[in-house]
């Protein structure tokens, strides 16, 4: 899935000379948690998150007044922001989000801001591409790793006239050279499919089979 499919366009932005109060007002008004800070050419010079704001605010448990609200955003914004392009793959951008513990990444084109992608957007994209919001069932199969696995499983599903929502594959940590295939199908009751897979010699590991 491309970044442009999931990014929010019409990003709300502020300048580094705007106040903390203006950022709080904007976050509350639009229910957002990340505000790119741009210069007059729409180049991204920083990013302010709700975490930056919370650290700047007085304690909710104290009676201190809001003395900090008129400080400039440049006092609390993060600099040296990682950005992405609209034609990058979301799945690959997710690795950066995870590795660098990012909350949001601005999308730029010719160095100008054109959108923003948040961790929530990335999670939403993964849920969509793995079909987890579609009704259906998950079956996990342990397989020896070789080319043709997807073909063989796809063949069995085609024979059963069962639609595959997604197939993902991860290393089986307990068995060297083995993979676990996660098969999401559009059948609410997977029993018929599990039985067909077992009949063909597949090792269905989850859900646990009731004997």
Among positions 143-182, residues that touch a copy of itself (CB under 8 A) are 145, 147-155, 157-158, 161-171, 173, 180, 182
Cβ of 183: how many Cβ atoms within 10 Å?
28
Matching residue, tokens 């929530």: 120
5 interacts with a copy of itself by CB under 8 A: yes
3-state helix, strand, coil in the chain (%, to 5): 30, 30, 40
Q: Which is nearer to a copy of itself, 11 or 162 (CB)?
A: 162
> What is the gyration radius of the CA atoms in the chain, in angstroms?
24
Distance CA 206, CA 45 (A): 48
- Contact positions with a copy of itself (CB under 8 A) in 14-43: none
- Contact positions with a copy of itself (CB under 8 A) in 59-88: 59-62, 64, 67-68, 71, 75-76, 87
- Contact positions with a copy of itself (CB under 8 A) in 89-108: 89, 91-92, 94-95, 97-98, 101
Q: Which is nearer to a copy of itself, 5 or 39 (CB)?
A: 5
CB of 52 to a copy of itself, least distance (A): 9
Choose, by CB under 8 A, the member of 21, 24, 124, 203 that binds a copy of itself: 124
Of 51, 207, 88, 71, the residue nearest 141 (C-alpha): 207
What is the greatest pairwise CA distance in the chain? 71
């Amino acid at each position: 899935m491309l970044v442009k499919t999931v990014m929010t366009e019409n990003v709300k932005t502020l300048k580094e000379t705007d106040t903390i109060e203006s950022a709080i007002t904007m976050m509350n008004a639009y229910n957002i948690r990340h505000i790119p800070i741009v210069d007059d050419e729409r180049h991204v010079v920083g990013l302010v998150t709700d975490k930056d704001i919370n650290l700047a605010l007085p304690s909710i448990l104290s009676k201190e007044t809001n003395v900090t609200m008129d400080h400039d955003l440049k006092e609390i914004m993060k600099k040296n922001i990682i950005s992405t392009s609209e034609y990058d793959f979301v799945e690959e951008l997710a690795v950066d989000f995870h590795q660098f513990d990012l909350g949001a990444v601005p999308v730029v084109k010719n160095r100008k801001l054109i959108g923003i992608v948040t961790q929530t957007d990335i999670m939403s994209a993964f849920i969509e591409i793995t079909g987890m919001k579609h009704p259906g069932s998950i079956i996990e199969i342990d397989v020896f790793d070789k080319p043709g696995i997807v073909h063989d499983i796809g063949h069995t599903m085609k024979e059963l006239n069962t639609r595959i929502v997604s197939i993902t594959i991860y290393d089986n940590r307990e068995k060297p050279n083995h993979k676990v295939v996660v098969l999401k199908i559009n059948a609410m009751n997977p029993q018929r499919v599990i039985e067909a897979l077992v009949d063909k010699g597949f090792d269905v590991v989850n859900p646990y089979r009731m004997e």
